[in-house]
Every structure is written in C-alpha cells, then in structure tokens.
Structure 1
Amino acid sequence: MKKFLIFIFTMFGLMLGMLAMMYNEYIRAYEAAHHRSSFPEPKENLLVPVSTRAYAKAKSWSEKSPLSKQQIKIYLTKYGMYSEYISQSAVNKLNIDWKEQAVLRAKSYQKFHYSKEKLVGQLVNVDLFTPEEADYAIEKVHFDWKEEAVKEAESSANGGKISKERLLEILVENRKFTQEEAEYAIEHAKIDWSD
C-alpha cells in the first residue's frame, strides 16, 4: 500500500509539473501572438544564471529607451523580481555612457517646452539621472530657452483669454522660466491680446 501511495503522489506531482510547464508555454505563446509582452524574455533555463537573465533584461530596456542607471536597476528589482545585488551587477555590466543617455532623454522632452530648471528637475527627480548627468545633458542639448518659453506661452494661452500678467506669472512660478525668458515670451508669442 505504501508503494502504491508513493506511486500515486509521484504521478500526481509529475502531472502538476507538466501542467505548469504547459500553462507557462501557453502564456508565452498568447503574449507573443497578441504582442502583449513589453520585452522579450530569454528562455527560462536552469542552466542560464540569474545574472545573465537580469543582464539581458537590462540590455533590452536600455535599447528601447534612454534610461538612467538607477531607473534600470529599479525596473530589474521591481518588475524583474531580481535581488538588489543581481540588479546592480547587471546594470554595472552594461557598456553605456550614462551622460549620453541623459542627453537623449532630454532631447525627447523638447516637445514639452520645459524650462531649463523644469528639465533638470525631470531628469533628476523623475528619470533618476544624477545631477552631474542632468547638467551635462543641459549643456549638450543647446535648447533656446527663450524660444521654449515662447512656445510654452502660446500653448498656455491657446484656447482661452489670459492676461499678460497672468501668463507671466504662470511662466515664472509654475513653469520655472527665468523672468527674462518669460518677458521675452510675452513679447514674441503669437497671442491675440485684444479684449
């Protein structure tokens, strides 16, 4: 009787294992067919070290979008479920110029017409670049901050009546343009001030 129970439990365990593997393959096939997987995952294999899989994910994320070192590390720990040590190790193996990543990220924000101060804040506080990397990016992007202020003024005034004083206040206090940039924007923006 004991051997029979061992046999039954062994068969049950094997069946559960097979079901789990089939379910895993079904999910992967479904995601591939519906393009729901954000990032291609390497084939899970016990022979492939965890650090190699973490590095592959880090490399994949870094190729899709200009991300900071810290952001990739957070993605690995939070979404990849890798340990802090494995995540740090994978990020350290990446052959990436993080300052250039910051430049690319800064350029991607030009359509939002940020002021210099707002762009630095975005790069450091949201994208998690170091202040040094953000400063380097600001130097290299060569944005005309006065023209960015003009575009932001036109965007802010679009669709509604706004006074010059209120727009100046928005540009300086909320959008963090300098007083000079904001005054330039008020003077040069294509805004109908009548009424």
Structure 2
Amino acid sequence: MKKISTSTALRVTAVTFGALMLTAAGAAAANAADPVGDDSTVDVNVEVTELNEPGVLAMTVAGTSVTLAEDGSTDLVRQFTGTLPTVTVTDTRAAEDIPEGAAWYVLGSSTAFAGDAGQPDIGAGHLGWSPELIDGGESGLVAIGDEVDTVVDDDADPANNVGLVDQELFASAWNSGEIASEGAWTANAGLFLRTESSVAAGNYSSTLTLSLFE
C-alpha cells in the first residue's frame, strides 16, 4: 500500500510539472503571434482499479501506559492494581490464504520495576495478571490465558512460572482459518503488583511487552 501511494504521488507531481511547462509555453506563443486555426484538445483518462492485496494478521493496543494504584493491601503484602489497555487482534485474510492448522496467540512478559531514586528493583515475579475476554467472536474459539500469580502469593504453584517473568499466554485461537471471517477480537487484563510490606517507598516503572505469534 505505501509503495503504491508513493508511486501515485510521483506521477501526479510529474503530470503537474508537465502542465505548468505547457502553460508557460502557451503564454510565450500568445505573446509572439495569434493562434492559427482552432484549438485542439486532448481528453486524458485513467482507470484506478481496486487494490487486491492479501490480508494481514495484526495486533493493536489501545494505550501505551498504565499506572497502578494501591488497592487491597494487607499488613504483610502491599498490592497495586490497574487494567491493561484493550488489546485487539485483527485478521483481514481470506480463510483460503491461511495455512491449514495455523493458530495465533499473544504472549506477555515484563521487565523488573526500576526505582527512580536508586531503590532496589522490584522483580517481574511480583507482577501478575488476570486476562479477560471482551469480544471473542461468535464461534467461541478464542480463549484467554490463565491468571498468573506472583512470588508473594501463598497459593502460587512453584512448578509453574510465577509472575510475568517469562512469556505468559494472554489470548489464543487454535484455528486461525476457521475464525478469520469474524475479523477482530478484543481482550484486556487486570494487573496486580504484589510486594512485601517492607518494599522501599518511591516511584517505579517497568515495561510490559505483548507479542503476537502464529
């Protein structure tokens, strides 16, 4: 699409430049002598055909930041919560253009929370999430990932990844071709940062990365 737009613009510029040259030449001729005979005209026609480009699978996120606020803290654990901006996966491909057995999925992982005044980092294991499907389409074939606990949760399963340290499943569809006609799906997640009550005061920030795969 971008290449075609650039090419079209160049063509227009070239045509405009040619028209200006003809106008200048005509003005010079008029100053020299009157035209001989009738003027001649040329109709210029062009057919702009509909683009027929293959569709794409893509992901967008309705925001670039989220601020967590303290909520639900106890004497032993401090908790800060927020909501991940809405994530939208779109598929504009025709079903026949999608390889058989293809599946898409979104994974997420976080860096440690770095302090702004030299205080110790809060590891990514302290950040968890609870994905929530907003619009999974009519087929019901889009699923969300499991809730991810944190390192300070008593019921966290040590056999599984704890916190958003590694890539954790956010949402998935295990048959891309079957649901492509639905076009788009949306989800978000409740985020929660849980730390020991002894955590140093201050401002912290981290980067949560979402990645779409097929």
TM-score, normalized by length of structure 1? 0.27
Q: Between Structure 1 and Structure 2, which shows a larger proportion of strand residues?
A: 2
Instruction: Tell me: higher relative CO, structure 1 or 2? Use CA pairs within 8 A at least 6 residues apart.
Output: 2
